[in-house]
Amino acid sequence: MKKIVVEGGKKLTGEISISGAKNAILPILAASVIGANESTLFNVPNLLDVTVMEKILLSLGLNIKRMDNMMWIDSKPLSNINIPEKLVREMRSSIILMGAMLARTGEVIISYPGGCEIGPRPIDLHLKGLKELGAEIVESHGFIHAKAKELKGCEIQLDYPSVGATENIMLAATKAKGTTVIRNAAREPEIVDLQNYLNKAGAKISGAGTSVIIIEGVDKFIDVTHNTMPDRIVAGTYMIASVITGGEIVIKNIVVEHLQAIIAKLKEAGSIIYDDKNSLKVIGPKKINSIEMIQTLPYPGFPTDMQAQMMALLTIANGTSIISETVFENRFKHAEELIRMGANIKTFGRVAVIKGVKELTGAKVTAKDLRGGAALILAGLAAKGVTEVDNIYHIERGYENFHLGLESLGANIKKID
């Protein structure tokens, strides 16, 4: 079994450039289905989830060429409406193909999605929104069969600002007749990137990044070239790598505005952070301060995808910290693994209380999900001795060569295949 082995105790220093965002490229790849056009995409991260989405698009009949961090897609030869169950169960983001396929062919058959097991993430908001646009949806034996003779624009009020539901409705509405308005839409930067891609392809969308998104349906898409936005969660993870080791890292190819919630909490923990347009210098403190409260929230609040990494940091903070996870249930699986390394963590439902310890010690631990796996590597960087992290396929779903990036900054780390 593949694993990553880390020997702690090294201060990380140097520069790292951040790759394209997983949570931006996946909906863009789904969107490439819509237009019977060609998409040339740059800054595409080399991740397991991207490979799964590529396999899904190939199974639908699309032509794809991939070289390094560039991908070319020709969606004209689409020939299939059945999305392979095995691939869907590997990756939750595959569900946004529903909206894209309804826009393109008016029909799709897909199973319920997989991905990280971080509690129930129902797709009822997706289905409700697509039904309001005119789709008929039949759920049977774990599969969803969606059909629409014609999608019609309408006003949709989301009960919660779900990123996936916002994206699915946006994709379906691009070809709907008339105007669609999404209220209480998710405001994440990745949705702005999706809007930018779609508008370059000929869609008429405004408001992404606010709580109200307006989509005017169009008949035709054109060929498009797009550069994927940088990954704010990968950037945040490297920021914590600097802080947890008392290091000094310059993080390049970022959008500083996307990282404000993370910057604020790391400053609270005692870090010194300088920003310079598209880069940050993060200097770790000699002593890490505890943080009274971190509450995960939809953007622009503190991201749930940074909760595990922050918990790893707070295990060696001076004092007691509290994390409240409001976005997902069952997202503290990494806590029991951190405890194996000597952390003092108690969880109560969606709340974790972390009492800082003098030091962590290396141990054999298991990545239970993507961000929890990254947190264990961060803990290993600061721990005394050697940490072995297995189940690293979780980490490879969302981090491109994470071990090599850390090694380039001075970490004593290696991947064993």
pLDDT tens digit string along 149-184? 999 999 999 999 999 999 999 999 999 999 999 999
How many residues does the structure list for the chain? 417
Predicted pLDDT at 319: 98
Residues 351-366 have pLDDT tens digits of 999 999 999 999 999 9
- Ordered domains of the chain (ranges, CATH): 3-19+230-416 (3.65.10.10), 22-214 (3.65.10.10)
Predicted pLDDT at 1: 85
Predicted pLDDT at 93: 87
Which residues are annotated as catalytic?
A: 116
Predicted pLDDT at 329: 86
Predicted pLDDT at 121: 55
Predicted pLDDT at 277: 87
Place of tokens 């919660």: 160
What is the rounded CA–CA span in Å between residue 51 and residue 35? Answer: 21
Question: How far are the Cα atoms of 262, 319, 387 from residue 288, in angstroms, in the given order?
Answer: 15, 9, 21
Predicted pLDDT at 122: 76
> According to the 3-state scheme, what is the secondary structure of 280-349?
EEEECCCCCECCCCEEECCCCCECHHHHHHHHHHHCCCECEEEEECCCCCCCCHHHHHHHHCCCEEEEEC
pLDDT band at 25 (very low <50, low <70, confident <90, very high): very high
Place of tokens 């936005």: 229
**Mean pLDDT, rounded, of the chain:** 97
Share of the chain above pLDDT 90, in %: 94
3-class DSSP assignment, residue 404: helix
Q: Which amino acid is at 302?
A: F
Residues 275, 276, 280, 285, CA torsion sign: negative
Question: How far are the Cα atoms of 60, 124, 126, 131, 350 from residue 221, in angstroms, in the given order?
Answer: 19, 29, 24, 24, 44
Residues 87-123 have pLDDT tens digits of 998 888 899 999 999 999 999 999 988 655 555 557 9
Predicted pLDDT at 273: 99
pLDDT band at 348 (very low <50, low <70, confident <90, very high): very high
Predicted pLDDT at 84: 95
How many other C-beta atoms lie within 10 A of the C-beta of residue 346? 11
